[in-house]
Amino acid sequence: MRSSWFLLCAVAVGAAVFGLSRLVQSEYFFFAGYVVLQYIVLATAWNILGGYTGYVNFGSAAFFAIGAYASVAIYKLRTLSGVVAIDDHVLFEIPKALLVWLSDLPIPVLIVIGGMIAGLVGLGTGYLTLRLRGAFFAIATLALAVVVQTLITNWDYVGGSRGAYILRPASAPLVGNYIEYLFLIMLSLAVIAVAAARAIETSRLGYGFATIRDDELAAEASGVPTLKLKLIATTLSGAFMGMAGAPLPYYVTYLDPASGFSLAYAVNSIAMPLVGGTTTWVGPLVGAILLGTIQQIATVTISSAVNLLIVGLILIAFVIIAPNGLVGLVQGWFRKKDT
């Protein structure tokens, strides 16, 4: 199926999901649905680098938080005076009205900005770390997460360690209810992320990514510009993670480094593709829906603290029973049936 047709189908499915969701008369459903959709974007983004090229990124939370804090930084523009001065010498003044207007940018624009910043950080990270392979690359991305968290924790403008409050507008465009609006935005982003992942996978770029995962030396010898492709992967992956994080401050209304850089984002963004299967776009989608839903159910029935325990146990089970994820399990079953 052509990518444009797939995008149309994905949009149709997204529209159907939103239509059906509105039949459910529960605000909690939209709260929980937002989290599952956010994980679809995060897992799909992780898979572009980790699944397609085989470079495991432990720093997902950093890219996600960069998107979230980009939104906070823009929101906080309203608190600035607009005067730019050095030693009491005024260089220029930004009109206060402009700052207030900027601080009220709609969420889709914040998503684009968050994605661009996180994408640039991804590109920079790639330049610094992609000569490393395997565990060394993974450790470097973990270090990146620590560095970014330390910077944010010490950046007073975005609230530092005490966090920042965001006041949501009273009503939202299109649907009126703000939570439904956030759900719709995250649903749209999930559709775009999944369609983009599939388009990459079936393109020449996707073939190039797969050669890097299979054998980087052989890929280079076949003429694949591996460094360039890896930089594209880190940029795209980082950008989508940042996009997933950008609406977060408006969802939680209070953001501090502990929640923005939560271990849950790093663990889930890896566990979901691994459970679903890392070599295709379907894997992260299935893994995120499965694990995300289980976690939401566990939150309301058992405890929110048990979430990561469940993820850990499922991950261990899959590593033993289905190391190639659910998709690999099904593919293997069909292969056996054919032979």
Partner 1 sequence: MADTLLEVDDLTKRFGGFVALDNVSLSVAQGDRVGLIGPNGSGKSTLVNCICGTLHNEGGSVRFNGAPVDGMKTHERTWLGMARSFQLPRPFTSMSVKDNLRIPLIYTVDARAKSRLTQAELDDRCAELLTLVGLEDKAQKMPRDLTQVEMRKLELARAMAAEPKLLIADEAMAGLSHSEVTDIVALLIRLNERGVTIIMIEHIMTAVMSFSQRLIVLVSGRKIADGAPQQVIQDPDVVRAYLGQ
* Radius of gyration (C-alpha) of the chain in whole angstroms: 21
Q: Rule CB under 8 A: is residue 226 a binding residue for partner 1?
A: yes
Sign, CA torsion 247/252/256/257: negative
Does position 257 interact with partner 1 (CB under 8 A)? The reply is: no
Q: What are the backbone angles phi and psi of residue 5, rounded to the nearest 5°?
A: -65, -40
**Identity (one letter) of the amino acid at 265?**
Y
As a whole number of angstroms, the distance between CA 31 and CA 29 comes to 5
Q: Which is nearer to partner 1, 33 or 328 (CB)?
A: 328
19 binds partner 1 (CB under 8 A): no
Rule CB under 8 A: is residue 223 a binding residue for partner 1? yes
Give the DSSP per-residue string, 177-190.
Answer: SHHHHHHHHHHHHH
* Shortest distance in whole angstroms from residue 118 CB to partner 1: 28
Q: For residues 6 and 207, which CB has a smaller minimum distance to partner 1 in the complex?
A: 207
Q: How far is the CB of 213 from partner 1 (least distance, A)?
A: 7
User: Residues touching partner 1: how many (CB under 8 A)?
Assistant: 20
Q: Does 225 bind partner 1 (CB under 8 A)?
A: yes
Residue 104 CB neighbours (<10 A): 12
Helix (H), strand (E) at residue 115: helix 107-129
Shortest Cβ 225–partner 1 spacing (Å): 5
In the complex with partner 1, the residue whose CB is nearer, 226 or 307, is 226
Q: Determine if 214 is a binding residue for partner 1 (CB under 8 A).
A: yes
Identify which range of 59-67, 92-100, 156-164, 212-220 contacts partner 1 by CB under 8 A.
212-220
Nearer to partner 1, 108 or 206 (CB): 206
180 or 216, CB closer to partner 1?
A: 216
Q: How far apart are CA 272 and CA 15, in angstroms?
A: 24
Tell whether residue 167 is a contact of partner 1 (CB under 8 A). Answer: no
Is 217 near partner 1 (CB under 8 A)? Answer: yes
Of 141, 175, 161, which is closest to residue 269 (Cα–Cα)? 141
Q: In the complex, what is the shortest distance from the CB of residue 229 to partner 1, in angstroms, rounded to a whole number? A: 9
Reference 141, options 59, 66, 63; nearest CA is: 59
Cβ neighbors of 155 (< 8 A, separation 6 or more) are none
Q: Which is nearer to partner 1, 138 or 224 (CB)?
A: 224
- Asked if 73 contacts 279 with a C-beta cutoff of 8 angstroms, the reply is no
**Binding of residue 168 to partner 1 (CB under 8 A):** no
Q: Which is nearer to partner 1, 211 or 237 (CB)?
A: 211
Is residue 227 close enough to count as binding partner 1 by CB under 8 A?
yes
204 lies in the binding site for partner 1 (CB under 8 A) = yes
Q: Does 208 bind partner 1 (CB under 8 A)?
A: yes
Is residue 277 at the binding interface for partner 1, with CB under 8 A as the rule? no
Rule CB under 8 A: is residue 80 a binding residue for partner 1?
A: no
Q: Check if the beta carbon of residue 75 is closer than 8 Å to that of residue 249.
A: yes
Whole-number minimum distance, CB 217 to partner 1, in Å?
A: 7
The reply to whether 339 sits near partner 1 by the rule CB under 8 A is: no
User: What's the token pair of residue 313?
Assistant: 């146990």
The letter for the amino acid at 283 is: G
Closest CA to 44 of 337, 215, 261, 278: 278
DSSP, collapsed to helix, strand or coil, labels residue 63 as helix
Residues interacting with partner 1, by CB under 8 A? 204, 207-208, 210-211, 213-215, 217-227, 279
